[in-house]
Amino acid sequence: MHSSENATSLKDRNIKGNIAEVKTTSANVEFVILPYYKTLEEIPDKNNLFNQLNDFISRTNEHSTIAILTSSIFASDFCTQLKNDAHLKLWIAVKLTNPIERKNYLTERHSALLIITRYKESLNHTKTRIGYTYCPYCDKTTKDYGGKKHLYHEFGTLMSDVWRDITVDFESYPSEVVNRLCDLFGLPQYKFVNVYDQREFYKPTNKKHSFRNIPETENIFSEKSRLLNGDCIAQLKKIPDNSIDFCFADPPYNLNKKYESWNDGINIQKYFEWCDQWLSELARVLKPGRTLAVLNIPQWCVRHFKHLNTILDYQDWIVWEGLSMPVRMIMPSHYSILCFSKGKPKPLPALARNQNTPFEKKAIETQLENYCIRANCITLRKRLKINDSEIASNIWWDIHRLKHNSRRVDHPCQLPPMFMYRLISLFTNENEFVLDPFNGAGTTTLTAQQLNRKYVGIELSEYYHNITSQRHNELSSGLNPFRKINDEKPKAKNSRVERLKKQKYEVSKKVLQLEIKNISKQLGHIPTKDEVTRHSKFPIEYFENYFISWGEATAAARTTGMSEAKKADNEIYQLPGIQLSFIMERTKSYLKKSDIKSKTALKNV
């Protein structure tokens, strides 16, 4: 369920025929539906299809928005061949109605919705919110909003680029996706969402993927774990071929983050040339049948795909719903874990071994969707023996970023330990080697040690290398390296927002924000500092010193506030009638069309 502010819902219309024959003139949303291809070999006449898609995009109006629904492997390969007049704005992961089970591998649970524009500027769209979900046991919101409920909207949260509240079935008409596009782009400059269902024209072939023929030879790197300080490419060259069981890389994203020894803002061409070098080295040291996983934003993973597809075999595209800054009207949540294997991948160790340790079991399992993690609710569910967990699929929604400085060390980009616990538990067995060429403050190697794996951690910065060494010493002496600490705040930051100085709060920030909300109701607008000075019972210094900005101080006044309790049936927010009737009409239309096809096919038999 969604709600779009100030949207004039677009009308949808089905455009018959092949996209190669279509001509478009006015600015609209052009929605192309393709099959869900499981391998690149299944794509019929791939180069021709890519050319037709690119030509179609080039023929659209310069103000148009193009949406393409397909599988991740198709989207990855196609995006590497986008023409210069097309700009990839978003890669939205949309949950599959019918997940694809794969024995001894992760279940495929998402499709790819590419949002492409002809224009270079930021994507134009409405402000759209996704309705809250509720725990099926306690009837409270899935997320525990704690003391911040006054800062959230009564309907739901801003949309992100991971859509789990709706699903897509590639055997039927994607009504929910079309409906959302009609509202998401319900802007004055558009009138229609033109739907081009191309599934009949480009049906998957029966061709199977042929894995690279890799000799099974393995070499030994070392009997002991290693922390190496130096350039990753130079250090990787010292490691023998086929000697590492799992390689993981979380490289600098080239987004101008402040690392101690890395220029995270170099020329994009040089950046990817450098990436190709260390990716090639990781592929060389990886053992046959094992996995190389790269974490990056989708747009950059597309480029990694282009290079890795020439030397390894595609294995998976894992979506990590890792909500992060910057805040914008479509929240950036989709972070990609691009997985390639060296030849045919061996069964995932966690799914193939007879028994997982309690540590491994906890890491590879996830809460069933919508179940909350409130301690009292979990306790009651366990007491009643309610099954609320399952093995993780290739969408990870349950691992959250580190948000509290008390659990961070002095490094700008730290992954949550559970993220690495899951990866290492899934892809390795005990005593196998895990390698990270950008080890930073040591999350990868520390979690590897905790899981009884050997490790190789390479770090360019001597400062970060020393932090990691110290943390490993703490771990060896019995301390938890990820414990909560009360020392000084780390100097390194992951955002440009300035930190507040440590201080004693005479009044809570929540009280002050609600005070401004009350003043706003009296005045009929968001108050200025001068107006708060005149109307508030609290000194203006509280508002100036306790908040990063005036925007934060007035945050509660700019929204409705929410309740975590599920509303009664007669209070539940209702979709506008036009949305509900749209979904029903389109679904009936497709079912009727499918029924006619079935009857025709039976007559021809």
CATH number at residue 318: 3.40.50.150
Q: Whole-angstrom Cα distance, residue 352 to residue 543?
A: 57
592: pLDDT confidence band, cut at 50, 70 and 90? low
Q: What is the mean pLDDT of residues 137-141?
A: 95
Q: Give the Å distances, CA to CA, from 549 to 129, 216, 491, 529.
A: 24, 59, 20, 11
Handedness of CA 97, 365, 316, 344 (dihedral sign): negative
Q: For residues 427 and 342, is the Cβ–Cβ distance under 8 A?
A: no
Closest to 426 (Cα-Cα) out of 350, 354, 522, 487: 350
User: Tell me: the pLDDT tens digits for 533-564?
Assistant: 999 999 999 999 999 999 999 999 999 999 99
Residue 534 placed within a domain: no
Q: Which of 450, 476, 502 is a domain's end point?
A: 476
pLDDT at 298: 94
pLDDT at 502: 77
pLDDT at 261: 37
User: Tell me: the pLDDT tens digits for 9-34?
Assistant: 999 999 999 999 988 889 999 999 99
Q: Which of 455, 476, 497 is a domain's end point?
A: 476
Handedness of CA 464, 465, 467, 472 (dihedral sign): positive
Handedness of CA 276, 279, 280, 281 (dihedral sign): positive
pLDDT at 61: 95
Residue 525 placed within a domain: no
pLDDT at 267: 79
Q: Which two tokens stand for residue 18?
A: 């092949």
pLDDT at 323: 86
Q: For residues 512 and 553, is the Cβ–Cβ distance under 8 A?
A: yes
Residue 147: pLDDT over 80: yes
Residue 149 sits in the same domain as residue 245: no
Q: Is 232 helix (H, G, I), strand (E, B) or coil?
A: helix
User: Tell me: the pLDDT tens digits for 324-382?
Assistant: 766 678 999 999 999 999 999 999 999 999 999 999 999 999 999 999 999 999 999 99
442: left (phi over 0), alpha (psi -120 to 50) or beta: left
Q: What is the mean pLDDT of residues 431-439?
A: 98
**Burial tier of 365 (Cβ tally within 10 Å: 0-12, 13-18, 19+):** middle
Residue 279 sits in the same domain as residue 341: yes
Residue 109 placed within a domain: yes
Residue 456: pLDDT over 80: yes
Q: Give the Å distances, CA to CA, from 100 to 107, 170, 275, 334.
A: 6, 12, 32, 20
Residue 136: pLDDT over 70: yes
Q: What is the DSSP letter of 325?
A: S
Sequence-distant (≥ 6) Cβ neighbours of residue 530 within 8 angstroms: none
pLDDT at 23: 85
Q: Whole-angstrom Cα distance, residue 143 to residue 133?
A: 8
Residue 55 sits in the same domain as residue 176: yes
Residue 242 sits in the same domain as residue 117: no
User: Tell me: the pLDDT tens digits for 164-184?
Assistant: 999 999 999 999 999 999 999
Q: Whole-angstrom Cα distance, residue 337 to residue 292?
A: 10
Least confident segment among 58-62, 204-208, 572-576:
572-576
pLDDT at 121: 94
Residue 185 sits in the same domain as residue 320: no
Handedness of CA 272, 277, 278, 284 (dihedral sign): positive
Q: Which residue has the higher pLDDT, 499 or 530?
A: 530
579: pLDDT confidence band, cut at 50, 70 and 90? very low
Residue 147 placed within a domain: yes
Q: Which residue has the higher pLDDT, 143 or 324?
A: 143
CATH number at residue 144: 3.40.50
Handedness of CA 138, 143, 149, 152 (dihedral sign): negative
488: pLDDT confidence band, cut at 50, 70 and 90? low
Least confident segment among 100-114, 320-334, 372-386:
320-334
Residue 90 sits in the same domain as residue 54: yes
Residue 603: pLDDT over 60: no
Work out how many domains the chain is built from and give that number: 2
Residue 136 sits in the same domain as residue 33: yes
Cβ atoms within 10 Å, residue 600: 9
From the CA atom positions of the chain, what is the Rg in Å? 26
Q: What is the mean pLDDT of residues 462-470?
A: 95
| Percent with pLDDT over 70 in the chain | 87
Task: Report the amino acid identity of residue 76.
Answer: S
Cβ atoms within 10 Å, residue 55: 12
Domain that holds residue 64: 2-209+574-604
Residue 64 sits in the same domain as residue 157: yes
Q: Whole-angstrom Cα distance, residue 300 to residue 327?
A: 20
Residue 334 sits in the same domain as residue 443: yes
Cβ atoms within 10 Å, residue 162: 25
Q: Which of 419, 452, 476 is a domain's end point?
A: 476
State the Cα angle at 213 between 211 and 219, rounded to 5°.
120
Q: Whole-angstrom Cα distance, residue 264 to residue 440?
A: 14
Q: Which two tokens stand for residue 246?
A: 């799992």
Least confident segment among 71-75, 110-114, 313-317, 601-605:
601-605
Residue 22 sits in the same domain as residue 138: yes
Q: What is the mean pLDDT of residues 113-133?
A: 95
Q: For residues 428 and 422, is the Cβ–Cβ distance under 8 A?
A: no
What are the two backbone dihedrals, phi and then psi, of residue 208, each rounded to the nearest 5 degrees? Answer: -100, 155
Q: What is the mean pLDDT of residues 232-236?
A: 97
Residue 248 sits in the same domain as residue 190: no
Residue 517 placed within a domain: no
Residue 35 placed within a domain: yes
β-strand pairing of 286-296 with 244-249: parallel
46: pLDDT confidence band, cut at 50, 70 and 90? very high
Residue 53: pLDDT over 90: yes
Residue 497 placed within a domain: no
Residue 518 placed within a domain: no
On average, the pLDDT of the chain sits at: 89
Q: For residues 114 and 90, is the Cβ–Cβ distance under 8 A?
A: yes
Query: pTM of whole model > 0.75?
Result: yes
Q: For residues 41 and 209, is the Cβ–Cβ distance under 8 A?
A: yes
Query: Prior bond to 215 cis, omega within 30?
Result: no
Give all strands of the β-sheet with 162-168 in edge-to-edge order: 11-14, 192-197, 29-33, 65-70, 108-117, 87-100, 162-168
Residue 200 sits in the same domain as residue 235: no
Q: How are the residues of the chain apportioned to helix, strand and coil, as percentages rounded to the nearest 5?
A: 35, 20, 45
Host H or E run for residue 337:
strand 334-341
